[in-house]
Structure formats: C-alpha cells, structure tokens
Amino acid sequence: MRICLSRLALTLCAFSLSAAALAAATPEQAASEYLAALQRKDTETMAASLHPDELNGMQQVLLSILEQESRSKPPHKAMAMFVGPKASMAEARAMPAAKLVGKVLAVRLAMSEVDSSQILGSVPEKDQAHVLARVNSRALGMEQSTLTVISTRRDGDGWKLLLNGQIESLRRMLQLFGGGDDKK
C-alpha cells in the first residue's frame, strides 16, 4: 500500500512538472518549442503555444466564416475540412479553440515541410518580445531558408506566441476558399 501511494505521488509530481514545462520560461523557449512542433507537424502543441487572446480571436474568425458558409448552398468545404463532413454549426461552436485552430494548422502544414530551425536572438518591447529565427523548409519541391520574426507576449509565468496579422490573412484566405465575401 505504501509503495502504491509513493508511486502515485511520484506520478502526480512528474505530471505536474510536465504541465509546468508547457509554460515557456523565455520568449526564445516559446519560439523554439513552437518551431519544434512545426517540424513534427504537432498541431496540438502549436495551437497550445498561441497566446489565449490570439487563439480565441482566431476561433472567432473561423466561426464567423463557418457561419457565413453554413448559410450558403452546399457543399460546405470549410466546415467539412475543419469540423467534419456532416458537422453542424453547433458542433463547430462546441469545439475547443485549440482543436479548431489545430485543424486549420494541419491543412496549412500539408503544403510544406520544415527541415530545421535556429533561434538567432530576441528583442524585448514592452510586454512583448520578438524572436528572430532562421527556418529551413520545403514547399512544392523547392527548398527555402527564411528569417522569421516570432512575436511573443507574457501569459502568466510564461510566454505565448502572437499571430502578427495572420488572423486577417487567414480570414481572407478562408473566405475565398469558402466562397464568402472577402470585403468584411
């Protein structure tokens, strides 16, 4: 009995430590964890790396687009791709933000592969920090090496990623994909 309780305590301790490790201690660590998840195509970790405000904002954009699409004649391409082939708006609204955003990230990742990345440094700015990284990737058979700025913002004791205007680009892309009006 005592051995079982000790094992349980150790297991709970290890779980707590791994959960605590999810909060990146530095902007560089947050960016590095995101890039590693990007390379593994781990959309769950990628979505969890986003600042909660960004994640919720992206969810609202996606729900707005899905709502608009649901009022049009089938086929509902975006709903089928991101929520499920026979999904309803109620199911889309009930889906956790990280899961919905993760589905969008998965579609985007299907178009390219990240081979490697390297954090080069960071620049603090008020409650944010901007991390410079070199990312080596392949898309459509072409290799490229780019310098990328990954913006982060403090979230509790850790740092989370910002989207840097990607919500607007995503909104326009999804509206075009879904056949919606892109003038909003």
- C-alpha distances (whole Å) from 156 to each of 22, 29, 127 are 12, 15, 12
Cα separation, 96 vs 94, whole angstroms: 6
Least confident of 10-19, 77-86, 133-142: 10-19
Name the nearest CA neighbour of 23 among 161, 116, 166.
Answer: 161
Looking at residue 107, its pLDDT comes to: 81
> What pTM was estimated for this model as a whole?
0.75
Please return the burial class of 34, using the count of CB atoms within 10 Å of its CB with bins 0-12, 13-18 and 19+: buried
Task: Give the count of alpha carbons within 13 A of 18, CB side only.
Answer: 6
Is the pLDDT at 58 greater than 60, yes or no? yes
Is the pLDDT at 2 greater than 60, yes or no? no
**How would residue 98 be classed by pLDDT, with cut points 50, 70 and 90?**
very high
Please name the helix (run of DSSP H) or strand (run of DSSP E) that holds residue 135, with its range, or none: strand 128-139
**How would residue 166 be classed by pLDDT, with cut points 50, 70 and 90?**
low
Cα separation, 151 vs 49, whole angstroms: 12
Q: Does residue 167 contact residue 69 with C-beta atoms inside 8 Å?
A: no
Cα separation, 100 vs 160, whole angstroms: 18
- C-alpha distances (whole Å) from 118 to each of 115, 124, 130, 142 are 11, 18, 14, 20
Share of the chain above pLDDT 70, in %: 77
